[in-house]
Amino acid sequence: MVFLIGILMLSSPVLAVSITQSPDQISRGERLTLSIRDLKNEDTFTLLIEGRFAVPSGSSFLFATDNFQMPISLTKGEMIAYTENTQETMLQVKKGDTTVGVGRKTGPDGIFSYSEKRDVGSGTYEKMRLTGTVLPGKTSVLTRLQLLGSKSGPDNSDISFTVDGIDEGSIILTVLVNDKQELFKQVTLRPPVTATQPVPDQYIILPASSRTPTVATPLPEGPQTFSSVDGLASVTATGISYAGLLKIPPKDVPPDWILISSVYSIAPDSLVFSPAATLSFAIPVPPNPDTSYAYFIGMYNNGAWAMVPSTATATAIEAQIERADDFALMAYTPESTIPATSAVTAQGTKPTGTMTPGGAPKVASVAQASPTAAPTKAPLSWFVAAGALVTGAGLVIWSSRRK
């Protein structure tokens, strides 16, 4: 009998994770649902919610994912917010009695980006939204919210939220599990049947009356650039309407490589670029100009990292890519042999080549300091009974809790 039970256990199928989304179209204020099945504890879970919509130049905007119900928790995780074409943006999160906000004015590029490494607890987030004003001369806004971390909680659950602030446009949902795409879905926002009423909200900085109804606009022709959620990587491609760059945890980095940037997964994973797309990584400011490293772009596929032929500009390292995959900005450790050419190499291989002073290769060479730990930033206490006001580089962080 024991032997039979053992055989039955061995033959039991391992259920694969399943993630579905409904409905395909919604109106403002309606609920979206992600149905998650067989998501195991310790699985890496990544959710990106992206909104694309048109607004009048200089007006205010609101992109809200309210009543965000999440039965699972994400530990060792990160929360990222991003907007394009805005002159100021505020991220607002409310859970229970505590409301937290992070905001600032943007620079000439109109980009707002904020991220914090933290656990994302289960429960209901009454408010999770991005508000602000549109950059003069711009007539569209792009918003992104990304949550990622190691899952804990029930294997089967539903994540759901209502969408507010947009009358027409689209929402793109991407879900990765263990860095593998399990969902890619574009949801259409259809106009409401009745006239749009202002949404009362005591947490919106700008007057609700200044908001104007939004309308959908076609994407421009020619090359388009799609940025990562933190704005540090981008893909410029022709003939596609969308490419998402999702931040994912690093893994299997060869011992003679140094991970300079985050790792980004391009979605949808079915993308093929013809002609080839330009993948670009911003060069970080070297903390020690006296030390040189050579940058290159690495691609992770089939369980191994490979070097991608790369070139350098004054501000970025670039490569031509033909399909979606996982990419990161890398450097060799000082003792590694640096190649004189940019040939693709297998994981852990040290190609031979002529060295130049400072260890920089003849191709794609950039002076780079030895990586050091990033300055430690006091974490934003999202849900504690504390209040803080921090100003620096235009960033304002505030936290409050009702008594």
Partnered with residue 151 across adjacent β-strands are 74
In contact, 126 and 95? CB cutoff 8 Å: yes
Sign of the C-alpha dihedral computed for residues 263, 280, 48 and 35 taken in this order: negative
Q: Within this chain, do residues 322 and 295 fall inside the same structural domain, yes or no? A: yes
* 9, two tokens: 């256990």
What tokens appear for 32 in the block? 């979206």
Instruction: Give pLDDT, residue 151.
Output: 94
Low-confidence ranges of the chain (pLDDT < 50): 7-9, 11-12, 195-219, 287, 335-393
pTM: 0.71
- State which of 169, 187, 218 marks the end of a domain: 218
Residue 42 domain-assigned (yes or no): yes
Tokens representing residue 206 in the block = 């700008």
- The amino acid at residue 311 is T
Among the candidates 179, 195, 218, a domain finishes at 218
Query: In this structure, what token pair is assigned to residue 292?
Result: 């040189």
Q: What's the confidence (pLDDT) of residue 235? A: 95
Both 174 and 256 in one domain: the answer is no
Provide the pLDDT for residue 377: 34
Cα–Cα distances in Å, from 63 out to 35, 122, 297, 307, 376? 22, 22, 34, 39, 30
Any domain includes 367: no
Residue-level pLDDT at 91: 93
Residue 8 lies in a domain: no
Are the C-beta atoms of residues 253 and 284 closer than 8 Å to each other?
Answer: no
The pLDDT assigned to 57 comes to 87
Radius of gyration of the chain (CA): 23
Check whether residue 193 and residue 244 sit in a common domain.
no
Same domain membership, residue 299 and residue 282: yes
Check whether residue 204 and residue 263 sit in a common domain.
no
* Residue 152: predicted pLDDT: 94
**In this structure, are 85 and 199 located in the same domain?**
yes
Chosen domain end from 218, 239, 260 = 218
Q: Specify the pLDDT at position 294.
A: 78
Shared domain for 37 and 123, answered yes or no, is yes
Four-residue CA torsion sign, 6, 10, 13, 19? positive
What is the extent of the structural domain holding 339?
224-359
268 and 196 share a domain? no
Measure the CA–CA gap between 118 and 92, rounded to whole angstroms: 16
On whether both 214 and 239 belong to a single domain, the answer is no
How close are the terminal C-alpha atoms of the chain, in Å? 61
pLDDT at residue 1, as a whole number = 54
Q: Is residue 144, in this structure, part of any structural domain at all?
A: yes
Inside any domain, residue 372 = no
Alpha-carbon distance values, 55 to 86, 150, 167, 310, 401 (Å): 11, 36, 10, 38, 33
Distance of alpha carbon 64 from alpha carbon 203, whole angstroms: 12
pLDDT at residue 124 in the model: 94
> What token pair was written down for 79?
């929360």
5 assigned to some structural domain: no
What is the Cα–Cα distance from 111 to 357, expressed in whole angstroms?
37
Measured CA to CA, the distance from residue 393 to residue 388 in angstroms comes to: 16
Give the count of domains, the chain.
2
> Does residue 214 sit within a domain?
yes
- For residues 120 and 111, give the distance between their C-alpha atoms in angstroms, rounded to a whole number: 24
Task: Give the CATH number for residue 351.
Answer: 2.60.220
Does one domain contain both 351 and 297? yes
Q: Are residues 46 and 126 in the same domain?
A: yes
Residues 272 and 323: beta-carbon distance below 8 Å: yes
Pairwise CA distance, residues 130 & 90, whole Å: 6
165 within domain boundaries: yes
- pLDDT for 339: 47
SS3 for 87? strand
Q: Does one domain contain both 174 and 240? A: no
